[in-house]
Amino acid sequence: QKVLVSGANGYIAIWVVRNLLERGYSVRSTVRSEDKGEHLKKTFSQYGDKHEVVIVPDITKKGAFDEAVKGVDAIEHTASPFHLNADDPYELITPAVNGTVGMLQSALEHGTSVKRVVVTSSGAAVLHDNPKPQEFDESNWNDQCLEFLAQGGPVLTNMVKYRASKTLAEKGVWKFWEDNKSKISWDIVVLNPPYVFGPTIHAVTTPSSLNTSALSWYNFVAHPTASGATNEFLATTGSAWIDVRDLAEAHSLALEKEAAGSKRIIVSAGVWKWQDFIDAANAISPPPKLSSPLPLGNPGAGTPNPATIHMIRYKTDRATEVLGLKYRTIAETTKDTLADYEARGW
Ligand code: NDP
- For the segment 63-69, the average pLDDT, to the nearest whole number, is 98
Residue pair 106/65 in contact (Cβ under 8 Å)? The answer is yes
pLDDT higher than threshold 90 for residue 194: yes
pLDDT higher than threshold 90 for residue 306: yes
d(CA 102, CA 108) in angstroms, rounded, equals: 10
- For the segment 182-188, the average pLDDT, to the nearest whole number, is 94
- For the segment 276-301, the average pLDDT, to the nearest whole number, is 96
- For the segment 1-26, the average pLDDT, to the nearest whole number, is 98
Give the CB-side neighbour count of residue 19, counting CA atoms within 13 A.
21
Mean pLDDT for all residues in the chain: 97
- For the segment 321-345, the average pLDDT, to the nearest whole number, is 97
pLDDT class for 127, splitting at 50, 70, 90?
A: very high
- For the segment 325-333, the average pLDDT, to the nearest whole number, is 98
Give me the percent of the chain exceeding a pLDDT of 90.
98
pLDDT of residue 224: 84
How do the residues of the chain divide into helix, strand and coil, expressed in percent and rounded to 5? 45, 15, 40
pLDDT class for 12, splitting at 50, 70, 90?
A: very high
The domain 2-196+242-268+315-325 having CATH identifier 3.40.1380.10: the answer here is no
Listing DSSP states for 97-129 in one string gives HHHHHHHHHHHHHH-TT--EEEEE--GGGT---
Nearest Cα to Cα of residue 256 among 3, 9, 77:
3
pLDDT higher than threshold 90 for residue 226: no
pLDDT of residue 227: 84
Alpha carbon nearest to ligand 1 atom 1, residue: 10
Give me the percent of the chain exceeding a pLDDT of 70.
100
pLDDT of residue 96: 98
- For the segment 67-75, the average pLDDT, to the nearest whole number, is 98
Distance 277 CA to ligand 1 centre (A): 24
Nearest Cα to Cα of residue 111 among 78, 80, 68:
68
Is there a catalytic annotation at residue 115? no
Strand partners, 119: 77, 190
Distance 80 CA to ligand 1 centre (A): 4
* Index of the ligand 1 atom closest to the CA of residue 165: 34
d(CA 21, CA 184) in angstroms, rounded, equals: 27
- For the segment 163-183, the average pLDDT, to the nearest whole number, is 97
pLDDT class for 201, splitting at 50, 70, 90?
A: very high
Q: Max alpha carbon distance in the chain (Å)?
A: 59
Distance 298 CA to ligand 1 centre (A): 33
Q: Which of 31-40, 118-127, 223-232, 278-287 has the lowest mean pLDDT?
A: 223-232
Residues of the chain within CATH 3.40.50.720 domain(s) are: 2-196+242-268+315-325
Asked casually if ipTM beats, i.e. exceeds, 0.90, the reply is yes
CA angle 316, 317, 321 (to 5 degrees): 125
Residues with CB under 6 A from ligand 1: 7, 9-13, 32, 36, 59, 78-82, 95, 120, 122, 166, 193, 195-196, 211, 213
Q: Which of 36, 50, 62, 166 is catalytic?
A: 166
Phi, psi at 181, each rounded to 5°? -65, -25
Residue 90 burial (CB < 10 Å; 0-12/13-18/19+)?
Answer: middle
